[in-house]
Structure 1
């Protein structure tokens, strides 16, 4: 009988918190196996213990103060009792890990090829020349065009999808038997996400790799693995073949998780607009263009090759316009121009019927990453209060009362005023960002990828909050996202951007059900499907198209 590639028995992981001797249990008695050549996905909400399990397989908790129990064997190595040399041979040689954020996983000062070559030399006796050749070989294998030349590039010269491919190439350099992928597609648009998932599938078929996929996106798991293990609170809730778990989930929590997944083919609740002056656009853009850089380094972010080509749109009170497109299509640049954070190179923007320049009165923004958009040295209450003070309010008692009201309004507590960002979960931090945007009573809020880093249940909570606030306050929303299923759920109209221009626009159901532009159809076909059979057919169709 073949020995399992991964065999975890009663795995327990406790992290130190607070006073000495106090611990928080992150993984609670988890047991599972993974056979060679098979793929298993760990799915669940943020905080369920998925990434903690993945790190335990490589002994990455050693030296952190974490307390581990149970046993974990990977490729025959007992991770808990392995010495430093055995762990070094395990990492890279037997099992390799691909992390969520490739930019922070790569050294910004060194060429991509040099970083891969260094990993290869650590685990082999290869010469520098042989290691460089190996780096080019694996970069070519993961689909980096002109690999010999691009191996000399640094991480900032790669797109997000190419950086993720580079990390996969680094993981493959030493021919591991197990690939651990921790949220490898979370920050990628749907077409690049599909390419990365197709790549992982192809590597499994070619090399017989075992795959442990950590993801909060059940749709990503559906077309990528053989089995699902659903986690909650550090424990296994349900495990089984992917098609059985998705079609007939047995655990109530699994059913809740699947119900929260936004779907292209799911029912959409009608979104009545409030009975206000709804025909007057809150924001209107006329032929916007924006370039970055100069001379040969000039990059056109919004607009077309013809200088007369620009982006025009209008958003009315109580309406949500979704903006979708691949990375680099100009979505975020357009959003920043609409609120005045970026000045258009040409074109005009009107707010409430008046042309504006600079920061637009009545316009606010909710950013993708609430961690970097909140000052870690200031309490969340003070961050929410900033727009009020900027507007001239000086009554500190009134300011605090307003902030506490806003905290309550977004589902937090008044007492959270004096807490700091690190004390909140990702979803809670995004609620703080929404409260800050609401503080000056705006008529327009631009949300730039506000739920892309959140698990599906937290996504559903945040989008439901935005919809509720919009119904009550009549705010115009611009919702920028690469997740087309989420955009369908929250939007009245949708604009599809490609290469700095809007290539298709209309009511969301019309665009999604009857897309007129080939690019729109390509985006929709790349959205992960919850049906493993459909996912496999789409993957085959993509492979035939590029054959």
Structure 2
């Protein structure tokens, strides 16, 4: 008989806000069960309550002022009624959690192995030597090569994917029966994401672990779980077998969520008419890179982040740049706008060699929170480029900023509000409005939607396409999400180790990739069909076994 590992009944969570006795409801009457060895995915947009549900399974809301009602049982333990000692045994012993950002979950000053060993000692009472041996064992189990040596490394010496593997190793140290993974692959490249998802699947098969996967990426859920729970505004709107929910969603919200998911086989960008050629019969590129090279590091240990890259982008065209972390795509983007000077080669704007930051060029960054001053209103941030261009009439400034805010789907009256008062998607709209302010010819977007929900992603990419058509802007769209890049781009350049290994029209590169690296990237993109996902996982395992 299958054992019920998690039982949640009518869970409601309210968080305190503002003054006394003021609360906001984050979770509203959610119920579900999870059996041992099974995997449940909780999907939904930011603010849907999915992470709040996951935290409730470990009693992480204690001491926060939150009000909880309903029942949460994990491994037979009533989480709300558990004494502190019982709760400590639950956390790590019965259930363990893997968070989204491994850097914030790991001590930067301690060796990875020591951190894992400490967790094991606390829960098992093992000796230091036994705990160290256990740390090496679980690091080896999650695929960290040369685990004895790497256990002595500190977090900054690990890549993002290796740090996430280390967190999973820490979670496994005490042999938990349940693994709770909260957005474990959001910040990872598609190839590393595929490796982590394969690892989680292998652990389930090998150890009979129950898995609760929280994600806003429906494709990730399709790759990883048996059942899907869709949440919206704190409530569960649909639940069922993953294949059934994805193939025939019953609820309008689920259908809208799936429709917003970028797909490799989804609708393509419709090419805009080519701009009229100049009198000599050619169309001058808005931006051109010729043999760009940039190295970082000290003498004798320098690494070429960009190694001899050449490309061109014309008015009204979008060039997508894809590649894994460390491929050089962000450094290339910063050189195109003048934020980074090349060691050799040349950037040309409108055919004219450029040095430093040039008029008519703007950038939209990945994280709007860090690129907006929290102490200044969003209107003042959008006005900055206009002031830099010499505009001093405050009434004209305010009117122009109001127009820009409205143009990106906000309100002119938002001028005096601050960044913390907006959602992630709204803050990214502010960043786009700021980039549009000086009427640029070129905008470089560096991972502009990677931290956003799929519905917000779709809104932001549609906005960029609309603005491009309206103003004839040249766009460089840098991303590790290949499906998003296919939807928004006319051409795509694939970068690896500082070089462009393949470039061409987006349909040609995606449908008939010539380079093995491009084929590997495309094969790692999550599939919304669980059957296809299983086939791809088997193919990856076979390729790894024969490598």
Does TM, scored on the shorter chain, surpass 0.5? Answer: yes
Aligned length: 541
Offset of residue 276 of structure 1:
5.1
Decide which of 458, 461, 464 is 1:463's aligned counterpart.
461
Offset of residue 180 of structure 1:
0.5
Are 1:291 and 2:295 counterparts? yes
Deviations 1:401-425 (A, max 9, x none): 1111111111111121111111111
Decide which of 461, 474, 487 is 1:489's aligned counterpart.
487
Q: Which residue of 2 aligns with 1:26?
A: 26
- Cα distance in structure 2, aligned partners of 1:83 and 1:392: 64
Q: Which residue of 2 aligns with 1:320?
A: 318
With structure 1 as the length reference, what TM-score do the two structures score?
0.97
Are the aligned partners of 2:58 and 2:91 in contact in 1 as well (CA < 8 Å)?
Answer: yes
Are the aligned partners of 1:339 and 1:446 in contact in 2 as well (CA < 8 Å)?
Answer: yes
C-alpha spacing 1:352/1:299, structure 2 compared with 1 (3 Å): same
Are 1:374 and 2:410 counterparts? no
Q: Which residue of 1 aligns with 2:192?
A: 192
Q: Which residue of 1 aligns with 2:227?
A: 227
Are 1:543 and 2:547 counterparts? no
Offset of residue 450 of structure 1:
0.6
Q: Which residue of 2 aligns with 1:306?
A: none
Are the aligned partners of 1:273 and 1:471 in contact in 2 as well (CA < 8 Å)?
Answer: no
- State the secondary structure of the residue aligned to 1:372: helix
Offset of residue 2 of structure 1:
4.3
Are 1:338 and 2:342 counterparts? no
- Cα distance in structure 1, aligned partners of 2:2 and 2:306: 56
Are 1:396 and 2:387 counterparts? no
Q: Which residue of 1 aligns with 2:139?
A: 139
- Greater mean alpha carbon deviation, residues 415-424 or residues 282-291: 415-424
Deviations 1:340-369 (A, max 9, x none): 111101100001111011112211111111
Offset of residue 64 of structure 1:
0.8
Are the aligned partners of 1:421 and 1:429 in contact in 2 as well (CA < 8 Å)?
Answer: yes
With structure 2 as the length reference, what TM-score do the two structures score?
0.97
Deviations 1:440-474 (A, max 9, x none): 11111110111111111010000000000001011
C-alpha spacing 1:296/1:142, structure 2 compared with 1 (3 Å): farther
Write the mapping of 1:146-295 to structure 2, written as runs, cut at 5 A: 146-273=146-273, 275=275, 279-295=283-299
Q: Which residue of 2 aligns with 1:307?
A: none
Q: Which residue of 1 aligns with 2:349?
A: 351
Offset of residue 277 of structure 1:
5.5
Are the aligned partners of 1:123 and 1:174 in contact in 2 as well (CA < 8 Å)?
Answer: yes
- Cα distance in structure 1, aligned partners of 2:387 and 2:267: 43
Q: Which residue of 2 aligns with 1:75?
A: 75
- Cα distance in structure 2, aligned partners of 1:112 and 1:391: 49
- Cα distance in structure 2, aligned partners of 1:204 and 1:543: 15
- Cα distance in structure 2, aligned partners of 1:34 and 1:174: 20
Deviations 1:152-173 (A, max 9, x none): 1111111111111111111111
Gaps of 5+ in 1: 304-309
Deviations 1:197-250 (A, max 9, x none): 000000101110000000111111111100000111111111111111111111
Deviations 1:301-344 (A, max 9, x none): 110xxxxxx00000000100000011111110100110011110
- Cα distance in structure 2, aligned partners of 1:360 and 1:116: 49
Are the aligned partners of 1:92 and 1:171 in contact in 2 as well (CA < 8 Å)?
Answer: yes
- State the secondary structure of the residue aligned to 1:412: coil
Write the mapping of 1:443-522 to structure 2, written as runs, cut at 5 A: 443-522=441-520
- Cα distance in structure 2, aligned partners of 1:15 and 1:226: 31
- Cα distance in structure 2, aligned partners of 1:113 and 1:395: 60
- Cα distance in structure 2, aligned partners of 1:80 and 1:360: 59
Offset of residue 38 of structure 1:
0.2
Offset of residue 518 of structure 1:
0.8
Q: Which residue of 1 aligns with 2:410?
A: 412
- State the secondary structure of the residue aligned to 2:434: helix
Q: Which residue of 2 aligns with 1:103?
A: 103
Are the aligned partners of 1:277 and 1:317 in contact in 2 as well (CA < 8 Å)?
Answer: no
Offset of residue 370 of structure 1:
1.1
